[in-house]
Amino acid sequence: MGIAQADIGDEEMRRQYREAGFGGRVGWGERPALLVIDMAGAWVDPGEQLGSDLRTVLESILQLLNVARATQVPVFFTTMAFASPAEVGGVVSRKLTCLNAMLIGSERVELDPLLRRRPEEPLLVKPRASAFFATNLLSTLLSHRVDTVVVTGCSTSGCIRATCEAAFDNNLHVIVPAEAVGDRNAHAHSANLFDIDARYADVMPLEEVLTHLKGRAR
Amino acid sequence: MGIAQADIGDEEMRRQYREAGFGGRVGWGERPALLVIDMAGAWVDPGEQLGSDLRTVLESILQLLNVARATQVPVFFTTMAFASPAEVGGVVSRKLTCLNAMLIGSERVELDPLLRRRPEEPLLVKPRASAFFATNLLSTLLSHRVDTVVVTGCSTSGCIRATCEAAFDNNLHVIVPAEAVGDRNAHAHSANLFDIDARYADVMPLEEVLTHLKGRAR
Amino acid sequence: MGIAQADIGDEEMRRQYREAGFGGRVGWGERPALLVIDMAGAWVDPGEQLGSDLRTVLESILQLLNVARATQVPVFFTTMAFASPAEVGGVVSRKLTCLNAMLIGSERVELDPLLRRRPEEPLLVKPRASAFFATNLLSTLLSHRVDTVVVTGCSTSGCIRATCEAAFDNNLHVIVPAEAVGDRNAHAHSANLFDIDARYADVMPLEEVLTHLKGRAR
Amino acid sequence: MGIAQADIGDEEMRRQYREAGFGGRVGWGERPALLVIDMAGAWVDPGEQLGSDLRTVLESILQLLNVARATQVPVFFTTMAFASPAEVGGVVSRKLTCLNAMLIGSERVELDPLLRRRPEEPLLVKPRASAFFATNLLSTLLSHRVDTVVVTGCSTSGCIRATCEAAFDNNLHVIVPAEAVGDRNAHAHSANLFDIDARYADVMPLEEVLTHLKGRAR
């Protein structure tokens, strides 16, 4: 059973989903990649409109980055940014007014420097919650013959869930290390982690993910 | 404020999202379409593995259908079905074992006959949660110059949310009549309706949607 | 050099493309699939509006099917069909009036029976030239961990080229056995085969493709 | 009859396509946008590997830009560029070796300064031939309620054809002003313009496009 199912919902909810045929364990494929979603100023700085305290999430991601870089697992980062508010789009800019300030070149769309992104690790600038929408992510993953994505970053109830769903839709294996995803709101975090585990990804303890990555022969 | 925000979460959560710049009101575009998602045997028959009691949801949808048909609003239905379990795909069939029994030709993938689908109302067979994934829905909407989708059916925490997000990603206006979407689990329903209203769609009372549709000149 | 470049264009054109950096050889990946595009009544029956004499193309495809089936290479078929003319879409139905008669259930959208499609070989019903547009093909290929598609069928200047491009866009290796693709018009065939080889796929003699498939260890 | 059909092929080929149900006239929708594809250094400088003399094409585009800007028709530009050769992708970089030198920040990916792009006119950086692949173009067009794209730039046999097809697949009206698209090779230009007109777009004289745009009430 996934960590999300152990953490949230009551026993009745977990039983209902199990009997309905959700939440099967998919496990790992052969070639993983690590996705680090939106760990940029706008989200990791608690003084920002969208920001919250994501220090423990960042710490977990740094552990994953260490292992990924040591074992040649490809790493991809994302941020959200637009050339101008007009390019957000009419509907999107009215629903998510926060996006109108996410301008290319501003500090708030820059990755947290602690991530120490390397030149060979692509930074994808995405316009929507899913890292796959209107980006080259899927084709780049296929270029590396990746069949498994480890999804980390923020926010669980937005970009993490959307990215997991899009990867799953394409029959990629999706792994979420529970401690490596975060959200500004604890209720939204746990409710969405439950859904993610039931529908799109295997949610696992960070330790289990680290152990698997270290143990891979490549 | 949307109905979802009034219904769920505490005052603190609603304040937090408002201050972070979520949940703006987008409103209606010029040309709506009505989407009826997965109101088929597998979901509407409580005796089915995925089923639950959706009679009030169906009743709401029937009211919307009446108005849509009387005012030339195009209507689209979806169901999920596969030619064989093998076509579900490896990852998907292991996570959502319930899908392996959703076979083309079986009664459980047929629409509820009370919907009385008309020949000119397309029935899209979709393989994933979103009605836009691997279907012709977007291009068909564009053929009708639709800029607004009214999303109804089930389940709020799965196909409804996914369909709202995909429509929103494409800058379509998305309207969710709260009484016309349902879920087998009340917690999942309300948590996801909150997210949908905050991120992707304007959740409104059914009455408001009916009034708007009746009032349109076309 | 690919067969297409040997067949068509003058020496000057081939030199120009080579110097401009087109037409590199990509070669095979590790896991191929065989795509058989639109070998259905509407195209293979010369009495049909869209039809032409494709007997030698069919013969080449039958050789490829024999080898693919003997070596566990997954096989996918496509046809084009619509539930009603209205579902073709306004723009598409005016540009390609031929599509308005491609109705689900009609004989002209049925595969040539000589192909003897097996139940485990999916038949994708596609609404546009590319076999990837609005279908589940990419995710199903990924489910099989396919990284190479052998594209066969018709028409070279329409569905074959479009399918090659879409596969290439996703970083799949694309192989076109020259004798296994056909077109109603010889000029359109050779001009497009040149472009396909220069931009999207390695065009090869059928014999080379058969030899490679037979020689794979799996 | 479109200009392409008048220009190329023999009478027999034109008759064959007409009888097969290709090449219908679609005409204009209600809200056009102007797309200017890849008029950047790599293509417009004849000294570049991919370059050729496109001065008359540029001149035609400048006329269209004048009218579009005077009549509030939205304008979109594209170029191709990558952060590093690694981000081109394995298959793509081997087939189109020319792309490996298209690096973000280099002069060759910058638009021709004569276009005088304005801040409100988006510049999309695309990784493939189609301006719609892995970009936000479609959703941005929908934000403007665009239903018609006027496609200009280069190369007819690559990015122009691919962009026309993708727009058409989504039921957008596609207009190609014949004098405003160009290619390094005259044979490839005319063969592809024929296909574009037969399958995806209405190819028209530049004068007809200018007249239509000037005549629009908005």
Distances (CA, A) of D61 to C31, D56, D151, D206: 45, 9, 10, 9
Query: Minimal CA–CA distance to A128: which of A101, A165, A92?
Result: A92
Query: For an interface test with A, which of C170, C172, C174 has the most A Cβ atoms less than 10 Å from its Cβ?
Result: C170
Distance between CA C46 and CA D13 in Å, rounded?
16
C-beta atoms of D142 and B172 within 8 A: yes
* Average pLDDT score, chain C: 94
> What tokens were used for A23?
């939440």
At residue C191, the pLDDT reads 95
CATH number for position A152? 3.40.50.850
The residue of chain C nearest to residue A142, with distances taken between CA atoms, is C171
- What's the N-to-C CA distance of chain D in angstroms? 28
C-beta atoms of C168 and D95 within 8 A: yes
* A22 is a domain residue: no
Query: Which phi and psi angles does A178 have, rounded to 5°?
Result: -55, -40
* A207 is a domain residue: yes
Mean pLDDT of the B14-41 span: 96
Residue B129: partners with Cβ closer than 8 Å, 6 or more residues away:
A165, A169, A199, B158, B159, B161, B162, B163
Query: Per residue in B182-216, pLDDT tens?
Result: 999 999 999 999 999 999 999 999 999 999 999 98
ipTM, two decimals: 0.95
Query: Per residue in A66-92, pLDDT tens?
Result: 999 999 999 999 999 999 988 999 999
**Neighbouring-strand partners of residue C174:** C149
Question: Distance, in angstroms, between B112 CA and closest chain C CA?
Answer: 19
Distance between CA A28 and CA A77 in Å, rounded?
21
* D19 is a domain residue: no
* C65 is a domain residue: yes
Distance between CA A117 and CA A75 in Å, rounded?
9
Query: Per residue in D169-197, pLDDT tens?
Result: 999 999 999 999 999 999 999 999 999 99
pTM of the model: 0.96
* C82 is a domain residue: no
Question: Distance, in angstroms, between B77 CA and closest chain C CA?
Answer: 13
Mean pLDDT of the A20-40 span: 97
Percentage of chain A beyond pLDDT 70 is 95
Query: Minimal CA–CA distance to D21: which of C180, C42, B18?
Result: C42
Residue C102 · residue C81 · CB < 8 Å: yes
A117 vs A8, which has greater pLDDT? A117
* A103 is a domain residue: yes
What domain range includes position C33?
3-37+51-76+129-215
* Average pLDDT score, chain D: 94
Nearest beta carbon to residue B170 from set D30, D138, D172: D138
C-beta atoms of D143 and A89 within 8 A: yes
| Number of C-beta neighbours around residue D38 at 10 A | 25
> What is the helix (H) or strand (E) element at residue A80, kind and residue range?
strand A75-80
In the three-class reduction of DSSP (H, G, I as helix; E, B as strand; rest coil), residue A133 is classed as: coil
> What tokens were used for B111?
């629409």
DSSP-assigned letter for residue C142: H
Distance between CA D93 and CA C21 in Å, rounded?
10
Amino acid at D212: H
At residue A217, the pLDDT reads 58
At residue C9, the pLDDT reads 62
The answer on pLDDT for C218 being more than 60 is: no
**Neighbouring-strand partners of residue B103:** B82
* B21 is a domain residue: no
Distances (CA, A) of B69 to A172, B213, D114: 40, 10, 52
| Partner chains of A (3+ C-beta pairs under 8 Å) | B, C, D
The residue of chain B nearest to residue D169, with distances taken between CA atoms, is B139
Amino acid at D55: R
At residue A5, the pLDDT reads 46
Q: Structurally, how many domains does chain C consist of?
A: 1
Query: For an interface test with D, which of B132, B139, B142, B172 has the most D Cβ atoms less than 10 Å from its Cβ?
Result: B142
Written as one string, the DSSP assignment of A23-76 is -------SSEEEEEE--BHHHH-TTSTT----HHHHHHHHHHHHHHHHTT--EE
Residue A192 · residue A164 · CB < 8 Å: no
* B209 is a domain residue: yes
